[in-house]
């Protein structure tokens, strides 16, 4: 079993494995190249996004700078808007649905490390070799979600479609669909309902209309 296959099984893997390091080096360099593009270089950005990621959907936009750890472990759906300083440490798979919006400085992480300090430093592989190990859990985000600035999504979390995650939240557990959730740790505040429609806020809606 390769070290990448171990990641997907959720068991300990060695991040210093040469094949993994080659994947990460490629993604780091491409992320840097993307981050150095100008906003009007749309064709170059689109080409780089498709090189970095397993999927970059139609009509999606990343403001940059961005940072993807593995890149090819991340799928982004259609019409997704991503603001400044988007970081995805995608050791495990990260899947983002359609029509999501991400504020500045959003971070998604999948890797985990042993709690015992000595185990974080070194453990023994099956052949008795001393190595540094970690493990990872996938993150899944549904469609039509909005993430405020400075949100962190932690390993193993699933966020249902139609959610709003308040600014500065640290999401450590699953969030059910159509929820407004916020806080550290993030918790569900309430369900999002029809009463949240802008049509009930005429002072903000002004002379516009809801479709």
Render pLDDT for 82-101 as a digit per residue (tens, 0 to 9). Answer: 999 999 999 999 999 999 99
pLDDT of res. 157: 98
Structure tokens at 149: 């600035």
Mean pLDDT of 165-194: 98
pLDDT of res. 49: 98
Q: Residue 74 — very low, low, confident or very high, per pLDDT cuts 50/70/90? A: very high
**Separation between Cα atoms, residue 69 and residue 74, nearest integer Å:** 10
**Separation between Cα atoms, residue 97 and residue 57, nearest integer Å:** 9
Mean pLDDT of 2-26: 97
Q: Residue 35 — very low, low, confident or very high, per pLDDT cuts 50/70/90? A: very high
Which one, of 49, 59, 164, 184, lies nearest residue 173 by Cα? 184
What rounded mean pLDDT belongs to the chain?
A: 97
Order of all β-strands in the sheet with 187-191: 61-62, 81-82, 101-102, 146-147, 164-165, 179-182, 187-191
- 8 A C-beta contact, residue 73 and residue 53: no
Catalytic sites, residue numbers:
113
Domain boundaries along the sequence of the chain = 3-188
pTM for the model stands at 0.95
**Domain 3-188 is classified in which CATH homologous superfamily?**
Hexapeptide repeat proteins (2.160.10.10)
Structure tokens at 108: 């998604």
pLDDT of res. 82: 98
Angle between helix 42-52 and 18-35 (nearest 10)? 160
């Amino acid at each position: 079993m390769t070290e990448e296959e171990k990641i997907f099984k959720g068991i300990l893997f060695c991040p210093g494995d040469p094949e993994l390091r080659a994947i990460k080096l490629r993604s780091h360099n491409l992320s840097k190249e993307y981050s150095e593009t100008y906003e009007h270089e749309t064709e170059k950005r689109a080409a780089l996004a498709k090189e970095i990621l397993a999927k970059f959907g139609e009509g999606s936009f990343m403001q940059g700078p961005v940072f993807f750890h593995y890149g090819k472990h991340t799928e982004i759906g259609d019409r997704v808007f991503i603001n400044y300083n988007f970081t995805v440490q995608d050791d495990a798979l990260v899947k983002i649905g359609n029509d999501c919006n991400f504020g500045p400085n959003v971070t998604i992480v999948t890797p985990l490390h042993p709690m015992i300090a000595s185990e974080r430093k070194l453990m023994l592989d099956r052949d008795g070799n001393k190595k540094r190990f970690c493990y990872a859990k996938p993150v899944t985000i549904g469609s039509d979600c909005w993430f405020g600035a400075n949100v962190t999504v932690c390993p193993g979390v699933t966020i249902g479609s139609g959610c709003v995650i308040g600014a500065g939240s640290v999401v450590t557990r699953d969030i059910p669909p159509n929820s407004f959730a916020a806080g550290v740790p993030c918790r569900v505040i309430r369900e999002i309902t029809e009463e949240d429609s802008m049509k009930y806020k005429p002072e903000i809606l002004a002379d516009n209309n809801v479709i």
